[in-house]
Structure 1
Amino acid sequence: MISSITDFIAGLPKAELHVHHVGSASPRIVAELAARHPTAGVPADVEKLAEYFTFSDFAHFIQVYLSVVDLIRDADDVRTLTYEVARDMTAQNIRYAELTITPYSSVNRGIPAEAFLEAIEDARLAAESELGIVLRWCFDIPGEAGLPSAEETARIATTLTPEGLISFGLGGPEIGVPRGQFAPYFDQARAIGLHSVPHAGETTGPETIWDSIRLLGAERIGHGTSATRDPELLRYLAEHQIALEVSPTSNLATRAVGSLAEHPLPDLVKAGVLVTINSDDPPMFSTDLNREYGIAADLLGLDEAGIGALAKNAVTASFAPDTVKADVLHEIDTYLADCAH
């Protein structure tokens, strides 16, 4: 018997499409890594991490995020982080996740690319066999590091191509980082069959989303919340079923929206845009995917059936193998039917 919407969401099988590798490190794991690597300047105390993860603006968030990236010093750190993130996801009934990984950040800090990939793949296979969660990778360019990072990310993606890699992205700051300059690297990635999933339109306007579609061949958009400012763009997204990866608490934490009450999620849904709900960098924002579904349910006025439909959006918009999609959709339907009795 489901006693509340919160309990319903907790038990609901889910997929997540926009969640960052390092940004998913729980306070326990961050504290452990900080104790291993004290020179990074990150608190090794779980309680102090909450204060450390309070951001004044998006630039401050990037600064803090990169300090946590600096905690990942060797392949053992990478493997530990990846498997523990999968464990946290499993506890939320996440069955499938596309984890955004920034190999350049770790390779640039001295971890050989081959060792990095071996670590994430080992963790992925172990998580699937031991925890029952299917993971896939999106390798993203850290936009703030410029074209050298794009070149190296594309090289790793196209020449070392790990089995779990399915997509190519672009993260980091949007302001002052034009999307178009990365087109050649997205072309390389798309040429070997990787999907295009850049961040766009969170801290910049609709033009960044248009550039991502026209110049980078975007099949999904990370965030995309400013699309509501352009009716033509909304129509285009809806018509072409280019899904948005929406993360409400993240948008609030980075000051992309002033309050949850002002969040454009309802307007996106009203316009017919395919919307998925995600957690982005959950421990850094004191959230998780279950909480994000609760927020979305409140904003959209959803009942259990509506929440279930929202969960299906993520499966539909994913790049999961067809068998995985079918399995997760069946799990959702079974869960909804059981809850209805």
Structure 2
Amino acid sequence: MRDFPKVELHLHLEGAAPPAFIRGLAREKNMDISGVFDEHGNYAFKDFWHFLKVYEAATSTLQTAEDYHRLTLAVLEESAAHGVIYTESFLSPDFCGGRDVGAWREYLHAIRDAADQAEKSHGIIMRGVVTCIRHFGPEKAKETALCAAETAGDWLTGFGIAGDETAGKPKDFAYSFDMAREAGLRLTAHAGEWGGPQSVRDALNDLGVERIGHGVRVAEDPALVEELAEKEVVLEVCPGSNVALGVYPNWRAHPIGMLFDKGVKVTVSTDDPPFFHTTMTDEYDRLSDTFDWDDGVFKTLNTIAANAAFCDEKTRANVLERLEKTDD
């Protein structure tokens, strides 16, 4: 499935950093982050909450706009190698200039410049979705939303929330989402990963999002599954991440197959691929093996993703046209 054209909607830029890239930055800066890796040089964590700490420790090596330029090139080259033709990446002003709008502009310029280079070199299209960090609290989220609102446009097209789903309630962040909405940004939110079905309802009702990051715990509520299918709410599903973090014990237990069969608009993404030892190729291969999905199903999933993408219509038409060539 490596060369199959793919659309990815749920990718954290820092979380996609290859371990060797982060180790290289640490060496350049004489930083000791040895606790981040296991004896094989892979990221090491015990559970989701330890993962968040390891993630932030690894991200601490990214200290300049140039670091993010290099990171973006490395991540997009890897994605393109696995057939990704369009990707939306979550970007956090929290890590890019400490939520200062001026500094954020510099980081964003560097990221976008790298994305333009990657599009020319590898044909992969990238768009940015600013993401506030839930466990950093609502006040910092407002600063993040201001960064997003000030730089909204044809490339920075979305706003969302990630982090520890057990910290606070979605309604605590309504002000930030209202600010982003007024700036013309489209909205998504992590929910239904560690929070149950109610967390998805809350994100939809209190934040007015059109997509849900993960969302898989809706499987525990048949009425909500039916509602999502009826309202055509798109789920950014990351099966390999869910299995790696123990949300589900194995691929066979993952509800993506049931959700798809029930008419829910599911898509497939990697979340933080090197942390979870996955790639988009791996995700497709395992889904094919587990649920007997064929090329037709994957083409349907990618068409759903392209139509749900936070991009302008010209870009969408380009992506859909490239997906149509899957059979050629």
User: Common fold, TM-score beyond 0.5?
Assistant: yes
Cα separation, 1, equivalents of 2:200 and 2:80: 32
How far 1:16 sits from its partner (Å)?
Answer: 0.4
How far 1:78 sits from its partner (Å)?
Answer: 1.1
1:104-155 per-residue CA deviation (whole Å, 9 max, x = no partner) reads: 1232299922221221121122222232211100100111111232011111
- Match status 1:86 vs 2:76: yes
How far 1:256 sits from its partner (Å)?
Answer: 1.4
How far 1:45 sits from its partner (Å)?
Answer: 8.1
Query: In structure 2, what is the equivalent of residue 67 of structure 1?
Result: 57
Native 8 Å contact 2:88 2:129 kept in 1: yes
Q: Which runs of 5+ in 1 are unaligned?
A: 1-8
Query: In structure 1, what is the equivalent of residue 13 of structure 2?
Result: 21
Query: In structure 2, what is the equivalent of residue 116 of structure 1?
Result: 107
**Alpha-carbon spacing, 1:87–1:104, altered in 2? closer, same or farther (3 Å):** same
Native 8 Å contact 1:27 1:46 kept in 2: no
Q: Aligned runs of 1:225-304 on 2, under 5 Å? A: 225-304=216-295
Q: Aligned runs of 1:165-180 on 2, under 5 Å? A: 165-180=156-171
Native 8 Å contact 2:152 2:183 kept in 1: no
Native 8 Å contact 1:128 1:134 kept in 2: yes
Cα separation, 1, equivalents of 2:196 and 2:144: 26
Cα separation, 2, equivalents of 1:198 and 1:58: 17
Q: Which SS does the other structure have where 1:39 is aligned?
A: coil
TM-score in terms of structure 1 length: 0.90
Cα separation, 2, equivalents of 1:218 and 1:69: 27
RMSD: 2.0
Query: In structure 2, what is the equivalent of residue 36 of structure 1?
Result: 28
Q: Aligned runs of 1:82-231 on 2, under 5 Å? A: 82-108=72-98, 112-161=103-152, 163-231=154-222
How far 1:40 sits from its partner (Å)?
Answer: 4.9
Give the % identical residues: 34
**Alpha-carbon spacing, 1:246–1:70, altered in 2? closer, same or farther (3 Å):** same
Worse-superposed segment, 218-227 or 321-330: 321-330
Q: Which SS does the other structure have where 1:11 is aligned?
A: coil
Q: Which SS does the other structure have where 1:255 is aligned?
A: coil
Cα separation, 2, equivalents of 1:45 and 1:143: 25
Native 8 Å contact 2:93 2:99 kept in 1: no
Q: Which runs of 5+ in 2 are unaligned?
A: none
Q: How many residues align?
A: 327
If each structure's helix is expressed as a fraction of its own residues, which one has the higher value?
1
Cα separation, 2, equivalents of 1:307 and 1:64: 33
Query: In structure 1, what is the equivalent of residue 67 of structure 2?
Result: 77
How far 1:326 sits from its partner (Å)?
Answer: 2.4
Cα separation, 2, equivalents of 1:46 and 1:206: 34
Native 8 Å contact 2:152 2:185 kept in 1: no
Q: Which SS does the other structure have where 2:301 is aligned?
A: helix
Query: In structure 2, what is the equivalent of residue 55 of structure 1?
Result: 45
